Amino acid sequence: MTENNDEGTLFWNHVRAVGQRLERHFRPEKAMEWFNLPHPELGNEAPATLVAEGRTEDVLALIDRMDQINVRDQGA
């Protein structure tokens, strides 16, 4: 496998990981919209852009915060 294929595989693995995490928050079409729109907590960058730049952890950290908000809201 070439380096480009390895990078491509890693990218798609990260996209899938983010998508799986978003299933708790959005329907598939809304998740895709969220993934492609700039987000203020990501420096007004789209999550897709950050994943493409290798910054998936930043996107997952935001989803972690979203998870915590949901947990708090459900306990209220």
Comparing 3-7, 49-53, 56-60, the range with the smallest average pLDDT is 3-7
Q: What confidence tens digit (pLDDT) does each residue in 3-27 have?
A: 677 888 999 999 999 999 999 999 9
**pLDDT higher than 70, residue 76:** no
**Residue range 48-66: average pLDDT?**
97
Phi–psi pair at 46, nearest 5 degrees? -75, 140
- At 65, the pLDDT band (50, 70, 90 cuts) reads very high
Q: Quote the CA–CA distance of 73 and 61 in Å, as a whole number.
A: 19
SS (H, E, C) the chain: CCHHHHHHHHHHHHHHHHHHHHCCCCCHHHHHHHHHCCEHHHCCECHHHHHHCCCHHHHHHHHHHHHHHHHHHHHC
Q: Which of 21, 29, 31 is nearest to 67 (CA)?
A: 21
**Better-predicted residue by pLDDT, 67 or 3:** 67
